[in-house]
Structure 1
């Protein structure tokens, strides 16, 4: 979104037309628009939905969010005007976007007015209402999409067990220290191939010397190495993900709305429902990411690249991987002086056909 940067010569808020009212607390899209506007322009008092009129002295408000005019904008735009204490003159760099429920309008006000004019109770109330609104929005948006959460979690249990079994064999066939070193080297998505070169140096006194220095001459893309050095049993994580998913009831959008309406007056119950849903969704999604890493590691193309890297004479990997596209669902691992160990790729971890 391209926004024009306002200047000190721009018209004052009082000279603009009154924006449309907000009979309800502003939606997240409006809040995000305000935040982006302040970051981009530094002029909260020129935002499209800002009402520049002075509110009644006893008006109640909900604090939508706090904001700061960026340092980089202050030299160009200066301070913002506050509709409470200085509607015609610059006043503040830090403020709050406030929703005045009685008038149904939004005002960007200075932080001093937000605190002293309305008091700390209003700030606390706005935080409480904001927390309630975020929980309601999350449940309404996510519950109808979480209907297959139990099915997704249950399907991952046999895959997780296969991952643990294969990881255990991998660490015995190679060595834990070698795999850990390889995983650290490839943490950025590629493994280096280095070449030792002699570097000649002449110091300030004219004395010549040389040293051997490793220089990276190539990098081999590699995926899923984190799968090998996972610290915890994936099967245990799958068990926990299933248990969390079992707590979530399948519901339609209409049923989600009914549930939120029922829970909204009971803040503790509403927040508990949000926490349970977030926890279950996070557990299943994290497990799915780990399964994706394992499958990426075991893909034929990745095993071929890993094999080529360990067999390169310039690489001291501490172990060797041997793979052939003729037998794509098995590979061999050896950590000298141990013998080769042939490892089949479990059916649960093979790429979908």
Structure 2
């Protein structure tokens, strides 16, 4: 957990406020203040220095101000450079030795102190983002688990149907995979005899071709070797089970403080939650391909293409809705076979309830 400091006490002997502990909570207040139109040097409680450039500090927030928005006020005075106007890009910092917050330019401090402050700031921001992300989204892990289980049932059925279709109709699968590799357009090439050349031996004419387009093949990815939605869903499920939380912000906070006490554990938990989302969404894309391929419209296109006078293919399909699912009957040459799809494999799965990145929280 990121350490939370106590609220500051006002020191009446100074214009600046006294901050005995690092005031990380001032970050959001300062950002909201500037977003609302406030100027950084109007922020209450600042120590305007002068401050030694070698004085160690910790960054609270970085900022950049447009000169146009400063009007006639010029640039911002830097606590390390005296009262003169100095910069537009800098940081709100805390100086432990002065127990105060101040504004400094992005290149005004001692280089070694600046480097240390930047490294500590980046690490702290990463940790804070991970903590805030988990606080916001751990309460949705039960919903995520339910989404995975519902989609997993559809994925199991989809893999069964894909395997059965490939086994029962190998010629069709081979032909449709070839179409997919060539761009997915269902068409035929027709040869057209042209007029005779004006020069050369009579009787030698040109032979041109044209493409007769039937339609487009949809969802061919469902026939590929990479169609394994079940695998990703099972991995995602194992990740979510390790993060399962009750559906409240209080439960999320309790889980974070009890189970993810260290920075590494906190960041690892956030990465697990994000990884589960990526795996779930990858499975959704595969199942979308499956639904596109095993749609009535797609099979109508395939039949028109395979049955065209220019076609040398000898297969056709009958697509019929039956109960909650679909029955597909197919003929290859003289062979006939059929398969049934459960309706859950053709239904749209639930969306993932968790943000895709920590920036979405």
TM over 0.5: yes
Contact 1:160 1:234 in 2 (8 A): yes
Q: Return the offset for 1:128.
A: 0.4
* 1:349 is aligned to 2:345: yes
**Any stretches of 5+ residues in structure 1 without a counterpart?**
1-20, 35-46, 70-79, 201-208
Q: How many residues align?
A: 287
* 1:301 and 2:297 matched: yes
Which residue number corresponds to residue 250 of structure 1? 245
Distance 1:115 1:310 in 2: 75
1:329 aligns with 2:331: no
Q: Retained in 2: the 8 A contact 1:157–1:238? A: yes
1:51 is matched with which residue? 40
- Return the alpha-carbon distance in structure 2 between the equivalents of residues 106 and 48 of structure 1: 17
- Partner residue of 1:241 out of 230, 236, 241: 236
Tell me: CA distance 1:118–1:350, structure 2 relative to 1, closer, same or farther (3 Å).
Answer: same
Structure 2: 5+ residue stretches without partners: 1-22, 43-47, 67-73, 195-204, 349-361
Supply the distance in 2 between the matched residues of 1:50 and 1:177 (Cα, whole angstroms): 67
- CA separation in 2, counterparts of 1:270 and 1:152? 24
Residue number in structure 2 paired with 1:98: 91
Residue 290, structure 1, aligned to residue 286, structure 2: yes
CA pair 347-333 structure 1, distance change in 2 beyond 3 A: same
Deviation of 1:233 after TM superposition, in Å, equals 3.8
1:326–1:295 distance in 2 versus 1, CA, 3 Å: closer
Other-structure match for 1:184: 181
Distance in structure 1 (CA, Å) of the matches to 2:110 and 2:214: 59
Matched residues in 2 for 1:129 and 1:22: separation? 10
TM-score, L = length of structure 1:
0.62
CA contact (8 A) 1:135 1:274 kept: yes
Cα distance in 2 for partners of 1:156, 1:162 equals 10
Alpha carbons of structure 1 residues 182 and 88: separation in structure 2 relative to 1, 3 Å? farther
The answer to which of 277-286 and 244-253 deviates more is: 277-286
CA distance in 2, matches of 1:258, 1:326: 50
Give 1:193's match in structure 2, choosing from 187, 190, 195: 187
Larger Rg: 2
CA shift digits 1:263-283 (9 cap, x unpaired): 675101211221222233333
Structure 1 residues 100 and 199: CA distance shift in structure 2, 3 A: farther
* Alignment RMSD: 4.6
User: Which residue of structure 1 aligns with residue 27 of structure 2?
Assistant: 25
Q: Please state how far the C-alpha of 1:330 moved relative to its aligned partner.
A: 2.1
Offset at residue 196 of structure 1 (A): 4.6
- Worse-superposed segment, 265-274 or 237-246: 237-246
Q: TM-score, normalised by structure 2?
A: 0.60
Instruction: Note the alpha carbon deviations across 1:124-149, whole angstroms, 9 max, x for none.
Output: 10110111011012112211222222
